Amino acid sequence: MVMRTPSRVAAEGMPEAVTIYEVGPRDGLQNEKGIIPTDVKVEFIERLGAAGLQTIEAAGFVHPGRVPQLADAESVIDSLNLDAGRRYPVLVPTLSGLDRAFSRGIRDVAVFGSATETFSQRNLGRSIDESMKMFAPVVARAREAGANVRGYVSMCCGDPWEGAVPIGKVVDVATRMAALGCTELALGDTIGAGTPGQVAALIDAVVAAGIDVGSIGVHFHDTYGQALANVLAALQSGVATIDSSAGGLGGCPFAESSAGNLATEDLVWMLEGLGIETGVNLEKLVSASVWMAGQLGRPSVSRTVQALAGRHAFDHAEPDAEPATAQR
């Protein structure tokens, strides 16, 4: 018989509650080969909100030629109730992207930097120094308007082209993004190569450089099966904002060795077991991922979804759902 909830055994030194920063609708779906219909994205976001997730990265105001899966950002945002009490952050690498986001009423934005030169060039077509110059006016204008600004720092634990990434490089980029005015920093293990000791040392170094641990979030991929262990290390280091993607959707279109994100369901199962409050209804979250799996025409990779809804959970989606990957 499948257990429906984990046994709750609180561990010492953990935060009482965490913020789950859901990235499935943006980071998760941007890596799909086919174009996901706008109404599917919107319903996915609404189902995630109904499950209790309060921070849902909804879209990216980026050049459609670079990431065509995000070309409908305006339509997605226009279909959401921005007064529902949730945060719907969006990615805005440039001033034009920021203007597009502001025109739709968004006041939670993010810029996406890199700890390595190679990935900065591949992802943004700019060096790290050039990317900082690009971000500076974006962050300044956003802060002047009272917006929250998240600064992603990618490739923190390894780079497929450069190999191991010295912690000093991550600290340098993180402190530069904080100096620009970012209100939150998300340390990303973009290729999922990190291990718990490395994560703890990284967070300690960033905090030692003067960045408040309360402003740090972590973003782990599960390429080598280390994501939950790395989350535990981050929690023990005082981090209370964790990125994840419903159903384990995602990867990075500009880093081929990047597997899916940490599944939100797996994260919630662990956090509930630790007695940490999330505000998320796991059954409703699993249902949302099962529905999305039906839209994509493949089962969820989340172990928790597989356990609670069956390994072929997408078979239980609405019968009239057409696989979104067939849309070109």
For strands 216-220 and 241-244, give the pairing: parallel
Rounded CA separation 173/162 (Å): 16
Among candidate residues 212, 205, 277, 274, the one with its CA nearest the CA of residue 238:
212
Catalytic residue of the set 156, 157, 182, 252: 252
Among candidate residues 323, 304, 327, the one with its CA nearest the CA of residue 314:
323
Asked if 95 contacts 65 with a C-beta cutoff of 8 angstroms, the reply is no
Active site residue 252: yes
Backbone angles phi, psi at 184, to 5 degrees: -145, 145
Rounded CA separation 96/326 (Å): 31
Rounded CA separation 247/303 (Å): 9
Active centre residues (catalytic): 252
